[in-house]
Structure 1
Amino acid sequence: MKATWEKIEKNLGVLDVEVDADRVASALDKAFNKVAKKANVPGFRKGKVPRPIFEARYGVESLYQDAIDILLPEAYSEAVDQADIFPVDRPEVDIEQFAKGETFKFKAKVTVKPEVKLGDYKGVEVAAVAAEVSEEELNEELERLQQRHAELAVIDEGASVSGDIVVIDFDGSVDGVPFEGGQAERYSLELGSNSFIPGFEDQVIGMATGDFKDVEVTFPENYHAAELANKQAVFKVKVHEIKRKQLPELDDEFAKDVSEFDTLDEYKEDLKKQLLTRKEQEAQGVRENEAVEKAAANAEIEIPDAMIQSEVQNMMRDFDNRLRQQGMNLEMFLSFSGQSSDDLEGQMKEDAEKRVRNNLVLEQIAKEEKLEVTEEEINKELENMADTYKRSAEEIRSILGANGSLDSLREELLLRKTIDFLLENSVEGAPVEKKEETATEE
């Protein structure tokens, strides 16, 4: 097989491929074996028609598309390897020649991973970040723990307030006509969560158990369902139940319930250490991000739109997975927030481009510095994963190998190693100071 690569723009080129005639014949054989199983030829059972009779009846050309479908993917993959290119999008393929007894010729217009021209990446200035835990931060963490361990008590009397969970029926309509997704029974809604159409939760606040009310809202202008955008809707709401969080007292008994300590003072001391460790990790993350972003800012890259869009789709899938872990999904989120899928993708695009740029720069730095991940480092990471998942390192390796994730693990470790290299070769700048508010500031 012959394959030549010609670049026509910075990230775009054409693969010119010619596949030997014997491989065309082999692909035609496979195509015949596939279609012969279904071919109806008088006098022959399915799958038993001789090849010459099939071709005489239907023509050899009837096999061409199936043969191309068999041969093209493998030929394209081999051509990519020969040309030593890294495609980042599906190719535009133009079939130039395919016939029995002849070679198979095609051209593929391919968008490839861009070239990265590195700027300064050693010696970039990275600000020091202080890791301290204030008394206020400790108290805020204790309040969060109180909220987490609160019990929900049913409120039989009195009106609902922000923070309550109300169990409601609602039936929505526009101009008296019900719309899809506007009805539910015994739905649990946390007031103040802003998970419904703006204005809905505010009007439910103040309702008591057994109350009925018409809640009037206006769908946002950019609502994902275009037929509802800017429309006024009426939801008939009934409150079945109100649940309110009952916070536990912050005392020694609380410490015993949520930790291995006997007193609140001991628990607070341990909690402060945990917070400090978290702050130190966050500070390290801030410094790493600054080092990477400064190196990326100094580089020259023209990123193909296909790479950015692919990253946006990855981010959308991750977001959907997180929503599902919370008992929701992307469709429900878009419905409640009044956004469309395009709106959400648009919000993610800038961050997606930054991620792609940073990763491309890190890959190039790793090449320039000849950084590699050793088998010892792979084994150490597998041991860490084994501890986390309570399985043996051999099992973890087998699982990752079976689903093709070992290479991804190696790439992830190389990125981490490159970030460590950047930070080790950075210059510590002035510490980041927390801005204090003054009486003269508005």
Structure 2
Amino acid sequence: MSYKVEEVNGCTKKFIFSFDNLDLSEQIKVALKEKQKSVNIKGFRKGKAPLAMVEKLYRPQVESDALNSFVQKEFFAAVDKENVRVVGYPSFQNVDYKDGESVSFDALVETFPEIELKDYSKLSFSKDKVEVTDQDVEDVKKNYLAPRAEMKELEDEKAKLAKGHHAVFNFEGEKEDGEKPENMKGEEYLLEIGSGQFIPGFEDGMIGMTKGEKKTLELTFPDSYHVEELKDAKVKFHVELLEIKEQVLPEFTDELAKEMGFESIADFQEKTKANLTQQKERQSQEKLNQEILEKLIEENSFEVPQAMVAQQENFLKQDLANNLKAQGFTEEMLSEYFSKWTEDLTTKATFQVKSGLILDFLAKKYEVEATDADFDAKIEESAKLSGLSAEQVKEFYGKDEKMKGNLMYAIREEKTFEKLAADLKIK
């Protein structure tokens, strides 16, 4: 084997091959005989055409196939010998083949970068304190009771609309040129004030109105609005408030708690506080983990394979596209959206690739692996948070190997962060 390896950058290598006295005639002859068995040539039965005629018609193709096969075989043999971790597929360049004499070619390939982290033992971080208040538990209770709530109109005719109230109103939008599009009108529309369903300024502008009052709101659509012609458009909304309603929740009793899957009010409060504590602890930990990764990436500069970044970017785009389609985005709107935010997606994908490589390096350093016992423990934890049984959660992951693989990867990362935290200064 005749080759040499050049470092292009931290994650790209060039293999330079040169073979003298190379004769592929035997491989070409064998390939032609195989081709002879399958070709249909006018005037001959399948597989019975003379070899000379097959060679005349197909030699360039067969010769090209034989050369490609040789090139790939030599490249991957070199990769194995050099113990190179390849990312993606190589780019073959400068292929020069002289029939019966020699062949030379270059193979440019991306590789996993060799990562060495600087001493991180002196890095310090602060973790958010986790606290669950009575109001937090009360908010969860309201969410449970909301589907059973009654909507009642306020009896006080002079009552002013406030956040949390539900307004029943008519509205009509008017563009700067005086046009009043049908898609900017509504009658007896029900809206929770403060929910953020309308464009910025609309709901705030209605606050303080009384029943029967009419008002004109002068607003500007945001530049990120999904309808192209309304981006940054100035508009007047003529609003008439018909009713002010409030949500009246039922009394929370032990019987109602049982209907919701709890033993009593006390059981609801105890379990809700425990779940909220666990959720906030996870959020606090995820925030800390993000800050740690950002610092490690800032402190340790290294290049990453563009093939990995492109793959991660495609994953992010697909995931985001699915979410936006669920919100009513068309293909045209998606194309415009991604055109505008491509740079942000690339930046995010690059960060995620770097984070994954650093965590993989640390997992190997700390000899961390995700075990079946870890998997079972995570299933139990998920079951408690979701309200499902452990068997149901386990069955869910058992149906999809990819989902289970992602969970095992997340467990490995979680255990890696635990090991890493012991070597950092965390307040």
Q: Which has the larger displacement, 15-24 or 112-121?
A: 15-24
Q: What is the DSSP-based 3-state SS (H/G/I as helix, E as strand, rest coil) of the residue aligned with 2:274? A: helix
TM-score by length of structure 2 reads 0.64
Gaps spanning 5+ residues in structure 2: where?
154-161, 169-176, 178-182, 184-188, 206-217, 236-244, 381-388
> 2-side partners of 1:356 and 1:318: how far apart?
16
Q: Say whether the 8 Å CA contact 2:4–2:17 is kept in structure 1.
A: yes
User: Cα deviations across residues 380-399 of structure 1 (Å, max 9, x unaligned)?
Assistant: 53786698565989x97897
Structure 1 match to 2:6: 6
2:257 to 255, 265, 278: 255
User: Cα deviations across residues 62-106 of structure 1 (Å, max 9, x unaligned)?
Assistant: 334555666666655444333333344554321513576566543
Structure 2 match to 1:32: 35
> 1-side partners of 2:150 and 2:54: how far apart?
74
> 1-side partners of 2:50 and 2:248: how far apart?
81
Structure 2 match to 1:346: 343
Pairwise CA distance, 1:410 = 6.6
Shift of the 351–32 alpha-carbon distance from structure 1 to 2, 3 Å rule, reads same
Structure 2 match to 1:280: 281
2:424 to 423, 426, 429: 426
Q: Which amino acid aligns with 1:416?
A: E
Pairwise CA distance, 1:220 = 6.8
Pairwise CA distance, 1:108 = 1.9
> 2-side partners of 1:428 and 1:46: how far apart?
76
Q: Say whether the 8 Å CA contact 1:93–1:108 is kept in structure 2.
A: yes
Q: Which amino acid aligns with 1:142?
A: K
Matches within 5 A, 1:140-219: 140-147=139-146, 149=147
Q: Say whether the 8 Å CA contact 2:91–2:109 is kept in structure 1.
A: yes
TM-score by length of structure 1 reads 0.63
User: Cα deviations across residues 269-307 of structure 1 (Å, max 9, x unaligned)?
Assistant: 331222122223333333433444433333232345554
Q: What is the DSSP-based 3-state SS (H/G/I as helix, E as strand, rest coil) of the residue aligned with 2:126? A: strand
Structure 2 match to 1:365: 362
> Does structure 1 residue 42 correspond to structure 2 residue 42?
yes
Gaps spanning 5+ residues in structure 1: where?
156-160, 167-174, 176-181, 183-187, 204-215, 234-243, 430-442
> 2-side partners of 1:67 and 1:84: how far apart?
26
Q: What is the DSSP-based 3-state SS (H/G/I as helix, E as strand, rest coil) of the residue aligned with 2:297? A: helix
Q: Say whether the 8 Å CA contact 1:224–1:341 is kept in structure 2.
A: no
Matches within 5 A, 1:130-149: 130-147=129-146, 149=147
Q: What is the DSSP-based 3-state SS (H/G/I as helix, E as strand, rest coil) of the residue aligned with 1:340? A: helix
Q: Which amino acid aligns with 2:14?
A: V
Q: CA RMSD in A?
A: 5.8
Pairwise CA distance, 1:119 = 1.4
> 2-side partners of 1:218 and 1:248: how far apart?
36
> 1-side partners of 2:4 and 2:139: how far apart?
63
Q: Say whether the 8 Å CA contact 2:130–2:281 is kept in structure 1.
A: yes
User: Cα deviations across residues 29-61 of structure 1 (Å, max 9, x unaligned)?
Assistant: 598379x44x4x22124455454321123x511
Shift of the 135–114 alpha-carbon distance from structure 1 to 2, 3 Å rule, reads same
> 1-side partners of 2:52 and 2:230: how far apart?
62
Structure 2 match to 1:172: none
Q: Say whether the 8 Å CA contact 1:248–1:254 is kept in structure 2.
A: no
Q: Which amino acid aligns with 1:365?
A: L
Q: Which amino acid aligns with 2:369?
A: V
Number of residue equivalences: 395
User: Cα deviations across residues 145-204 of structure 1 (Å, max 9, x unaligned)?
Assistant: 344x35799x9xxxxx999899xxxxxxxx9xxxxxx9xxxxx9988877898899999x
Shift of the 406–248 alpha-carbon distance from structure 1 to 2, 3 Å rule, reads closer
Q: What is the DSSP-based 3-state SS (H/G/I as helix, E as strand, rest coil) of the residue aligned with 1:129? A: coil
Q: What is the DSSP-based 3-state SS (H/G/I as helix, E as strand, rest coil) of the residue aligned with 2:13? A: strand
> 1-side partners of 2:52 and 2:277: how far apart?
80
Q: Say whether the 8 Å CA contact 1:218–1:232 is kept in structure 2.
A: yes
Matches within 5 A, 1:6-405: 6-17=6-17, 21=24, 25=28, 28=31, 32=35, 36-37=38-39, 39=40, 41-46=41-46, 48-57=48-57, 59-67=58-66, 76-88=75-87, 90-98=89-97, 105-147=104-146, 149=147, 248-252=249-253, 253-263=255-265, 265-303=266-304, 305-322=306-323, 327-328=326-327, 331=330, 334=333, 340-369=337-366, 371-373=367-369, 377-378=371-372, 380-381=374-375, 390=392, 400=401
Q: Say whether the 8 Å CA contact 1:88–1:307 is kept in structure 2.
A: yes
Larger Rg: 2
Shift of the 71–298 alpha-carbon distance from structure 1 to 2, 3 Å rule, reads same
Q: Which amino acid aligns with 2:260?
A: V
> 2-side partners of 1:73 and 1:245: how far apart?
72
Shift of the 112–135 alpha-carbon distance from structure 1 to 2, 3 Å rule, reads same
Q: What is the DSSP-based 3-state SS (H/G/I as helix, E as strand, rest coil) of the residue aligned with 2:112? A: coil
> 2-side partners of 1:22 and 1:196: how far apart?
74
Q: Say whether the 8 Å CA contact 2:148–2:250 is kept in structure 1.
A: no
Q: Say whether the 8 Å CA contact 2:374–2:411 is kept in structure 1.
A: no
Q: Say whether the 8 Å CA contact 2:14–2:106 is kept in structure 1.
A: yes
Q: Say whether the 8 Å CA contact 1:17–1:106 is kept in structure 2.
A: yes
Q: Say whether the 8 Å CA contact 1:121–1:294 is kept in structure 2.
A: no
Shift of the 280–102 alpha-carbon distance from structure 1 to 2, 3 Å rule, reads same
> 2-side partners of 1:200 and 1:68: how far apart?
69
> 1-side partners of 2:123 and 2:29: how far apart?
57
